[in-house]
Amino acid sequence: MRPKLALTLVVVVLATLVSGCNIFSWTKSDTAESLIEEGKAHLRDAEYNEALEKFAEAIEKEPNNSTALYYHAKAAVHASGFNSLSLAQMLADDEFIAGDDFPFTGNDWPKNRANDLYQVSAILMSDLKPIWDEETTGEFGKTDIDFDLALAAGMRGILMFQDSNLDGVIDGNDYNFLLEYIDDISQGFEISDFHDYIASLSSAPKLKALSPQDTIAIDPGIITAFNMLVDNINEILDLAEAIIISIASGTFGLDPLEVKSVLDEARATAYRYRVADGVDNDGDGRTDEEVVDGIDNDGDGLTDEDSNGTWSL
């Protein structure tokens, strides 16, 4: 009987060692750490959707695990099919010429493609912002993700121009703002179809023949909705710019100051088109001076900016 007992003890000891003290289960460990390792393996094999699932499971177990959050963001970019380097270079391109579209807008970015990147930017913001805010523990800190988060916020702020109803999706329910660079002597970008946007939403009668001096008050609901859009765009671009400014040095493959230049353009464009807010949004010394009529009323090279809450058909 003793040899049999000794053999039993050996089996129990081996089982304990092999299973990591889990003697009643031979199943694979599903700790956050093990899930992260599985996700990394999928990343190495270019199995990006599988990697996303593993990192998401790890986040469920440890929501403040910066390693899981970071790699989930990384997998999301790979799974989207976008090239992060080319996106970064696009956001850093500040050598605009007349007729250029703003980054991530225009004919090269139809709504479905813009929405794909918009959704990726939301994932990156959700994953990386807690690390930036120092709410996490783990392998990565704020200095490890600062430039990535700045790029994600910059992309999302610019793409938000296309999410005109702020429902989190860029689709056929959104107005397609045309953000175009005017010329070398102007103040940069303008929303060149702002008059058409107001007309598309206005409940005012469109059959009435107006003389050149006649105007109609913009519906207060339209003003509120558009100003809210502008405020949301600027809030997220403010975050992106604050991060860029905080980066003293580093090698990112491009100049952070070039990214800041593009963010400056986007913020300036958004601010200029705030409606009837009693603020000199375009910095020309006048307040709410434009009528939304597709005409440069104040002679500054821009149309319909800093408008007073009226429009002309």
Q: Where are the domains of the chain?
A: 29-81, 85-311
pLDDT tens sequence across 249-296: 555 567 888 888 999 999 999 999 999 999 999 988 999 999 999 999
* Position 229 pLDDT exceeds 90: yes
Q: What is the pLDDT of residue 160?
A: 97
The answer to whether residues 128 and 239 touch, using CB atoms and an 8 Å cutoff, is no
* Position 209 pLDDT exceeds 50: yes
- Supply the DSSP string of 19-83, one letter for each residue: TTT-TT--SPP--HHHHHHHHHHHHHTT-HHHHHHHHHHHHHH-TTBHHHHHHHHHHHHHHHT--
Q: What is the mean pLDDT of residues 24-38?
A: 77
**For the whole model, what pTM was predicted?**
0.85
CA of residue 36 relative to chain centroid, distance:
25
